[in-house]
Amino acid sequence: MQVAAMRRWASRHERISDASPAAVLIVIAVAAAAAGDSGWHAPRAAGVAWTALSCVPLVVRSRWPLPVVVVTLTIDLTAMALAPDRVATPTASLVALYTLATRSGRRTAWTVGVIAAVAVTGVYAATHEEPVLVGTSLLRFDFAIAATALGDAVRSRRLHLARVEARAERAERTREAEARRRVTEERVRIARELHDVVAHHITLVNAQAGVAHHLMRTDPDRAYEALAHIKETSRAALDELRATVGLLRQPDDAPDSRAPLPGLADLDALIGGIRAGGLAVTVHRTGLARPVAPATDLTAYRIVQESLTNTHKHARATHADVSLDYGAVTLRVTVTDDGGPHAPKGPGTGHGLIGMRERATAIGGTLTTGPHPGGGFRVVAELPLSLTPATARPAPRKHHP
């Protein structure tokens, strides 16, 4: 954290951070010029002047690293040639080489670094009349290579940290996008549940209320039965709404109801309510009936519920047939009526058929709808009996939290 804070401060105060090494080098040059074999003495002006002159370009080393290397190296080599006894090490050039390596490509940094190392070694050997391969000459070569290597290592480290930070930011954005996607899917699923519950039960209540209104004067007993059906249907609607809205509760909330979501076991009660509304319904089961996955159980129930609701609302049908065919790996649900096309009588949205298709697709199944060859309308759903993570999304739990 402290290193990151120092880096941010240096980026905001670039001129100050660039000038700091120059000031340090000048102080060191003054101290070195004042030291002698017999003790301290007044600094030699030539060495201090050349050092100060070579340090001036370092003030802009971060902005123009390559030109600064060229200028500082030129000044240092000139000083080494004119005052070999006063300037022995091109310190400003070493700082410039380090900066170039941290702010440019590896090829550029090493090309310039090797050229500078060879030039410094050659000038030093020539001015001091020493072989190029002796220790003191090679030491200058090592200095230039070391400055370049250190700068290259710092640049590589910074790139690595930048990649790690970029991956972390990308992962965070991906997690946020995934969370938003799941929230959207959950909202759509709950909206489908609310649509199915409300549309079905309100349709039945409306039909039964019409029957009661028609028979109130001519047949009070049957009107009373219709009102009783209205009471039962509205109570069932409230129970299902409470269970569906309970899905929105937090795990630590105390739910008002722990009623399970409906399934094929509740199909007889559903059919009974439809029949009470005036639509004759028959149910056929083929194959070996057996337990199915919870998501398939709820989806099959909702498809039958929505299909019969659409038949009652839009098709002007008198009879509907529900078929459940248990195959080896799939459950085939077929709902057929003898009415016309399921076109809304009023300003509808068509969410019923869309919702059924989305339900089937969500668990890895299919749904087809269309006119029946023998007349009427048919809904056919192929649903998997068991779900696998690879073919189905997480199914809603049987009980809400």
pLDDT digits (tens, 9 = 90+) for 175-232: 878 877 877 776 777 677 676 666 666 777 777 677 777 777 777 777 777 777 777 7
What percent of the chain clears pLDDT 90, i.e. is strictly above it? 12
44 three-state secondary structure: coil
Instruction: For tokens 């391969």, name the residue.
Output: 133
Whether the predicted pLDDT of 158 surpasses 80: yes
Closest CA relative to residue 32, chosen from 17, 13, 51: 51
pLDDT of residue 367: 92
How do strand 35-36 and strand 39-40 relate by DSSP bridges?
antiparallel
Query: What is the Cα–Cα distance from 193 to 201, expressed in whole angstroms?
Result: 12
pLDDT of residue 325: 93
- Distances from the Cα of 269 to the Cα of 80, 185, 218, 266, 275, angstroms: 103, 30, 28, 6, 10
Whether the predicted pLDDT of 324 surpasses 90: yes
pLDDT of residue 349: 45
Tokens of 140: 């200058």
Residue 264 in contact with residue 283, Cβ under 8 Å?
no
Query: What is the Cα–Cα distance from 187 to 190, expressed in whole angstroms?
Result: 5
More confident residue, 342 or 114: 114
DSSP string, 322-379: EEEEE-SSEEEEEEEESS-----SSS---HHHHHHHHHHHHTT-EEEEEE-TTSSEEE
Does the pTM surpass 0.75? The reply is no
Residue 371 in contact with residue 348, Cβ under 8 Å?
no
Residue 336 in contact with residue 311, Cβ under 8 Å?
no
Tokens of 129: 């009349």
pLDDT of residue 293: 85
88-107 pLDDT per residue, tens: 578 888 888 888 998 888 89
51-95 pLDDT per residue, tens: 777 777 888 888 888 998 899 888 888 888 887 666 557 888 888
pLDDT band at 380 (very low <50, low <70, confident <90, very high): very high
17-28 pLDDT per residue, tens: 555 655 555 555
pLDDT of residue 59: 81
User: Domains of the chain, with CATH numbers?
Assistant: 2-132 (no CATH), 176-384 (3.30.565.10)
23 three-state secondary structure: helix
pLDDT of residue 326: 92
What distance, in Å, lies between the first and last C-alpha atoms of the chain?
A: 42
Query: What is the Cα–Cα distance from 194 to 245, expressed in whole angstroms?
Result: 8
Residues 97-119: what's their mean pLDDT? 90
pLDDT band at 271 (very low <50, low <70, confident <90, very high): confident
